[in-house]
């Protein structure tokens, strides 16, 4: 009977309620800070008229960032965002080098050495009716 007195019980209840209100408050704070206004970051980029990119040319599009290639097979694009932690890679000889932690990719975006483990992903390129090119992420 003495093992768990009335006083212990009240103390425990008190602690439990305090902890609970603390957690509720923290949960509320997280929800408050977690509000997202505008969703949808830009995923499509108008990169101008297709004539600006002649056959057999490779062009860096710094705003995307991506590299746009025009071959006999048509237009293709590859992301230039390092798959390690998101720095923009730089052209380095045939391939690409990330200045942040030194990942190297070959000209097709395959990893030559890490720390990155994933290749640079290809991007979708669309040619609109009015001759405008559109590059979209994903």
Partner 1 sequence: MRPNFFHHLHPPTIPAKQSRWRYTLGAGGIAVFLSLVLLVTGALEMFYYIPTQAEAAQSIQTISYLVPFGGLVRNLHFWAAQLLLIVVAVHLVRVVFTGAYTPPRRFNYLLGLALFILSILLDFTGYILRWDQGIQWALVVGTNLLKTIPWIGESLYRLLIGGAELGDATLIRFYAWHIVGLILLASILGIWHLFRVRRDGGVALPPPNLRADHERISRFELVRREVLAMIFVSAALLLLAAFVPAPIAPPITELTAISGDVRAPWFFLWVQEMLKWGDPFFWGILVPLFMLVLLAIIPYFFPQPAEHEIGSWFPKSNRLAQIVVAVLASAVLVLTLIE
Q: Write down the least CB distance from residue 21 to partner 1, Å.
A: 19
Instruction: Please state the separation of Cα 51 from the chain's center in Å.
Output: 30
Span interacting with ligand FES, options 15-23, 39-47, 50-58, 78-86, rule CB under 6 A: 78-86
If one asks whether residue 29 binds ligand FES (CB under 6 A), the answer comes out as: no
**CB nearer partner 1, residue 38 or residue 94:** 38
Binding at 62: pick from ligand FES, partner 1, none (beta carbon under 5-8 Å per type): partner 1
The verdict on 118 binding ligand FES (CB under 6 A) reads no
**SS3 sequence of the chain:** CCCCCHHHHHHHHHHHHHHHHHHHHHHHHHHHHCCCCCCCCCCEEEEEEHHHCCCCEEEEECCCCEEEEEECCEEEEEECECCCCCCECEEECCEEECCCCCCEECCCCCEEECCCCCCCCEEEEEECCCCEEEEECC
Q: Which of residues 114 and 131 has its CB atom nearest to partner 1 in the complex?
A: 114
Selection from ligand FES, partner 1, none that 39 binds (CB < 5 to 8 A by kind) is partner 1
Minimum separation from the CB atom of position 134 to ligand FES (A): 27
Q: Which residues bind ligand FES (CB under 6 A)?
A: 82, 84-87, 98, 100-103, 115-116
């Amino acid at each position: 009977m003495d093992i768990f007195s009335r006083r212990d019980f009240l103390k425990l209840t008190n602690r439990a309620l305090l902890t609970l209100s603390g957690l509720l408050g923290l949960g509320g704070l997280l929800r408050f800070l977690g509000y997202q206004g505008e969703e949808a970051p830009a995923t499509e980029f108008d990169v101008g008229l297709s004539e600006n990119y002649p056959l057999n040319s490779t062009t860096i599009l710094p705003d995307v960032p991506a590299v746009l290639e025009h071959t006999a097979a048509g237009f293709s694009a590859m992301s230039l965002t390092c798959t390690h932690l998101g720095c923009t890679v730089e052209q380095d000889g045939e391939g690409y080098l990330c200045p942040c932690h030194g990942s190297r990719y070959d000209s097709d975006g395959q990893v030559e050495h890490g720390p990155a483990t994933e290749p640079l992903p290809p991007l979708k390129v669309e040619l609109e009716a009015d001759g405008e090119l559109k590059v979209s992420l994903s």
